[in-house]
Amino acid sequence: MAADLEALVDRALDGEKLAIARLVSVFEDTRVDAPSRRREVLQHLAARRTRKARFVGITGTPGAGKSTLVGELATRLVAGDARVRVAVLAIDPSSHISGGSLLGDRTRVRFPVGDRRLYFRSQASDQELGGVSRTTFPVCRLLYHLFDYVFIETVGIGQSEIEIQQVADFVFLVLTPLGGDGVQFMKAGIMEIPDAIVLNKCDAVDAARKSYHALRASLSLSRPGEEHLVRIFRTSATTGQGLDELSTFILQLGQDAIGRGMPAKERYFLEKWVRDEYGRQGLRALAARGGAAAVMHAGDFEAAQLQFASEYQQR
């Protein structure tokens, strides 16, 4: 097994899809002993020269054109620079009855077959309400090393999409002209999340212009006291309008622009993991150990998970 994982790591770094896909599955694995395999993969990666991905969150209601937009942006990013590698992680809801899911986003994103620089993976939300899956963060820890940009496309149910802010470095909220979803978002407090807004499907010129100004107005209301209003991009996948501008903007998101570093994310998701696995009692045990920050000092995320799990079980 050990040798297997190491070989997979090398093949994945080379851009081989099957190897990447298998490693992603290791990071999605829900079995208790899985973190140790993840740890091993990350150790192999640490011993090699790897990439350092920026995570771009894409949220917004269904039908806002998130997937098509992501497909266009990813294609542009790799077209602009032959060395760049881009992954897309698209999350769709799971059924509350069967636990199964329909992951349909691939329909909207058509990458040229055989291009090693683009990778698409669907995830089921697994009844999580935060807009991303329980396994999104672990998988991001892997993709961090293999790609330069990772788009995370949320479920997009229009509410409780808060978690994207924790996992992504930069979050775009995608809206459509006169979709009325702006108001919904304001109500849900979602307007406070995005770092920038994309007004998509701007092919209808008039509607787009009206919406743009309505949006400007509502933003200044919902985020009072902010020095700069968040930027609004106007795009259309049909005409190509605004897409180059947006992809250039993403390219220029330097490491310094990233507000949420990995340690902060690890702390957040460790606490969340404890809550998911062990509930309130687990949280109390975590607090007794000095909170997520203290437990993280034991080492990396996976080591902290393993250690907490074994201590908690012995209790």
Query: Which residues contact other proteins (rule: CB under 8 A)?
Result: 17-18, 20-22, 24-25, 28-31, 34, 62-63, 92, 94-95, 97-104, 106-108, 110-111, 113-114, 119-122, 124, 238
- What is the nearest approach in angstroms of other proteins to the Cβ of residue 300? 20
Nearer to other proteins, 101 or 241 (CB): 101
- What is the nearest approach in angstroms of other proteins to the Cβ of residue 239? 10
Q: What backbone torsions phi and psi does residue 171 show, to the nearest 5 degrees?
A: -120, 125
- What is the nearest approach in angstroms of other proteins to the Cβ of residue 138? 12
- What is the nearest approach in angstroms of other proteins to the Cβ of residue 19? 9
Residue 132 and residue 137: Cα distance in Å, rounded? 9
Residue 209 and residue 105: Cα distance in Å, rounded? 28
Structure tokens at 302: 């996976």
- What is the nearest approach in angstroms of other proteins to the Cβ of residue 143? 13
Residues 270, 295 contacting (CB under 8 angstroms): yes
**Strand, coil or helix: 124:** strand
Nearer to other proteins, 19 or 304 (CB): 19
Least Cα distance to 201 among 230, 177, 180 occurs for 177
Nearer to other proteins, 25 or 281 (CB): 25
Q: DSSP characters for 134-202?
A: TTHHHHHHHHHHH-SEEEEE----SS--TTHHHH-SEEEEEE-TT-SHHHHHHHHTGGGS-SEEEE--T
- What is the nearest approach in angstroms of other proteins to the Cβ of residue 8? 12
- What is the nearest approach in angstroms of other proteins to the Cβ of residue 124? 5
Structure tokens at 245: 């501008």
Nearer to other proteins, 237 or 304 (CB): 237
Consecutive H or E run containing 262: helix 262-288
Nearer to other proteins, 91 or 292 (CB): 91
**Strand, coil or helix: 130:** coil
Nearer to other proteins, 22 or 289 (CB): 22
Nearer to other proteins, 57 or 93 (CB): 93
